[in-house]
Structure 1
Amino acid sequence: MKSLFFILCSLIAVPFVSFGQIEMESERDNDGIVTLYAINRTSIPHTVLINFSQLQNMTTPGGGDVTALASPGRSRVATLKPTLSGQGTNYRYSYSYVRGNLFAKSKTKPLYLIPVEAGQEVVATQMNPLADRLTDGEKTGSYVGVSFSFSNPTMIVAPRKGIVSDMKMDYEGNKENLSFNRAENFIELYHEDGTFTKISVLKAGTSRVKEGDLVFPGDILAQSGGENYSSGPHVRMINLRPIKTDTNKLSMEAFPVTFVGENGEVAFNQPEKFQVAHPQAVVTAEMSKKELKAFQEGK
């Protein structure tokens, strides 16, 4: 999963740059105003940071670098206007991008189901920071997610409403007594507040979803894996969000989320065994009126 990208380009005379998941193109009108567009060929928004190294007789509305949202498709991300009419203009910039929406916010506190079939007994454990490897080298800090262990393989479900944004389900592991494997199968969900949930250690070929699918809390994603691990059958869940660092760069960070069980919020300060429950209030929390009606009629 490639979440962060950087490219340097000079657009003195080149109106289109294509590389990676986000492409940039420009248009100049008769008044000399230049509009920069991002072409996003994925199914989820990306955040784009445009750094101008040269602005000759041109200004941006913010007076400098621009951070903008590149929605799926073609989005306007920056406008350059001549400072003085009748004089030459020039510009040069680099851009980087990260998956997700840096500007999105939750209307209410997001709640997450335990991503395991209801009724199962699980042991929840906060993972060791060494599991930074779970995020393909992204810097996650001290929090790196939660591991859910169980006695026998079980079905893994969506913990929250989201779009399937990335997945890999074709790895057939043959090594035994593992503690970690970067090649593990995973399914990732993108949420409306610009964040992601990544669930890994899944059994190859068992996915019930495909990229672009909309899922709701409790919907089955795949079957668990991990039988060849020293810890036995389990799945690992980590949540990521886009951020802008103090050095004005885009990155991803892991963050803890609030899980809910039968008796309300659940904290995993130490390994704890309990039975999974999926309260209907959490299942329906982020549904639109149309989605809620369909859910109630389908019960």
Structure 2
Amino acid sequence: MLYVYTMKNQILFFFLFFQISLFAQKRDVQVYREFVDGKTIVYADNSEFCPVSVVIRTELVNMKSSLKKAFVLVPAQTKKFVVTELTVIDKTKKVSFKYQSSFFLGDIDLRKYDINFPYELPYNKGEEYLIGQGYNGTVSHQNEFALDFAMPVGTEILASREGIVVDVQDQNSGNCMKKECAENNNFVVIYHEDGTFAEYTHIDTNSALVKKGDLINTGQKIALSGNVGWSSGPHLHFFTFVPDIEKGRISVKSKFKTTSNKPEFLEEKKSYLKEYE
């Protein structure tokens, strides 16, 4: 889009390019600009239920930006949050700018979070399930800290940690062993207070018991397990992650309450009985 403004002896050319990068996410975020008191102000409306990192890339001619770094963290449910202010350097010369914006759920600059948080096993008391594939598994978990709980379709999935639901997909059906089938995954994503996320994947079709914006307690029923998407059999694929500007997200290890006195990392090919509620 090309916007042309005439101010006294000055012509301002504004080229606005909105582009979602390869790893950026399609989100309920709007970035727009207004011309106020001689300045161009770029705003963001974030209608998501967690903070969103808005990445801005600019090309400026005879202008300067108030941006201190490449992105701005926009709080959840915020309207008209100032992303940057662009001001003219020399009003007697031609002025133009370009900017691209992309969005990531959460803080892409997150460095500190609770690595020792005691997650609860995501199923009911008295149930026991095998970890079919663990961290850095050879089938589909290469370089990923994810866990596959081998459980029958229809098993009640419980939230391992309290938070707020930021994404739900349960309309897909069918499965296959090709990586491309990951686009057909069903899932629930929950945002935690320390800035991390947990994704519960392969839930059954139309089985989600929560929706975006719901506040979730630990142990609350959120969905039923399934065998949908990139899956070779019925199981719950669970992992926690932090957002990343290059990879989109990076999985992180999670410790779980088991029968031991201290939370521990779950191991592949071991079964875990839940003895608490």
Q: CA offset at residue 103 of structure 1?
A: 4.2
Tell me the TM-score normalised to structure 2 length.
Answer: 0.75
The aligned counterpart of 1:164 is 165
Match of 1:272 among 248, 270, 273: 270
Q: CA offset at residue 61 of structure 1?
A: 4.8
CA distance in 1, matches of 2:191, 2:2: 33
Which runs of 4 or more aligned residues in structure 1 lie more than 6 Å from their structure 2 counterparts after TM superposition? 14-19
Query: Using a 3 Å threshold, how does the CA distance of structure 1 residues 29 and 221 change in structure 2: closer, same or farther?
Result: same
Query: Using a 3 Å threshold, how does the CA distance of structure 1 residues 153 and 18 change in structure 2: closer, same or farther?
Result: closer
Q: Is the 8 A contact 2:241 2:250 kept in 1?
A: yes
Q: Which structure 2 segments of 5+ residues have no match?
A: 4-12, 21-25
| Equivalent AA in structure 2 for residue 255 of structure 1 | V
Q: CA offset at residue 223 of structure 1?
A: 1.9
The aligned counterpart of 1:114 is 121
Q: How does 1:180-195 map to 2 (within 5 A)?
A: 182=182, 183-195=184-196
| Equivalent AA in structure 2 for residue 252 of structure 1 | R
Query: Using a 3 Å threshold, how does the CA distance of structure 1 residues 15 and 120 change in structure 2: closer, same or farther?
Result: same
Match of 1:24 among 22, 25, 31: 31
CA distance in 2, matches of 1:162, 1:80: 37
CA distance in 1, matches of 2:193, 2:72: 17
| Equivalent AA in structure 2 for residue 254 of structure 1 | S
Query: Using a 3 Å threshold, how does the CA distance of structure 1 residues 16 and 40 change in structure 2: closer, same or farther?
Result: farther
CA distance in 2, matches of 1:27, 1:235: 46
Match of 1:126 among 128, 134, 158: 134
Q: CA offset at residue 162 of structure 1?
A: 1.6
Q: CA offset at residue 38 of structure 1?
A: 1.2
SS at match of 2:97: strand
Tell me the TM-score normalised to structure 1 length.
Answer: 0.70
Query: Using a 3 Å threshold, how does the CA distance of structure 1 residues 274 and 26 change in structure 2: closer, same or farther?
Result: same
CA distance in 1, matches of 2:263, 2:128: 17
Match of 1:53 among 56, 59, 66: 59
CA distance in 2, matches of 1:95, 1:277: 48
Q: CA offset at residue 152 of structure 1?
A: 7.7
Q: CA offset at residue 126 of structure 1?
A: 0.6
Query: Using a 3 Å threshold, how does the CA distance of structure 1 residues 79 and 111 change in structure 2: closer, same or farther?
Result: farther
| Equivalent AA in structure 2 for residue 225 of structure 1 | G
SS at match of 1:261: coil
Q: Is the 8 A contact 1:117 1:155 kept in 2?
A: yes
Query: Using a 3 Å threshold, how does the CA distance of structure 1 residues 242 and 231 change in structure 2: closer, same or farther?
Result: closer
Residue 97 of structure 2 corresponds to residue 91 of structure 1: yes
Match of 1:253 among 247, 250, 254: 250
CA distance in 1, matches of 2:213, 2:156: 20
Greater CA deviation, 114-123 or 213-222?
114-123
| Equivalent AA in structure 2 for residue 261 of structure 1 | T
Q: Is the 8 A contact 2:254 2:265 kept in 1?
A: no
Percent sequence identity is 22
Q: CA offset at residue 16 of structure 1?
A: 10
Q: CA offset at residue 172 of structure 1?
A: 4.3
Match of 2:87 among 81, 89, 103: 81
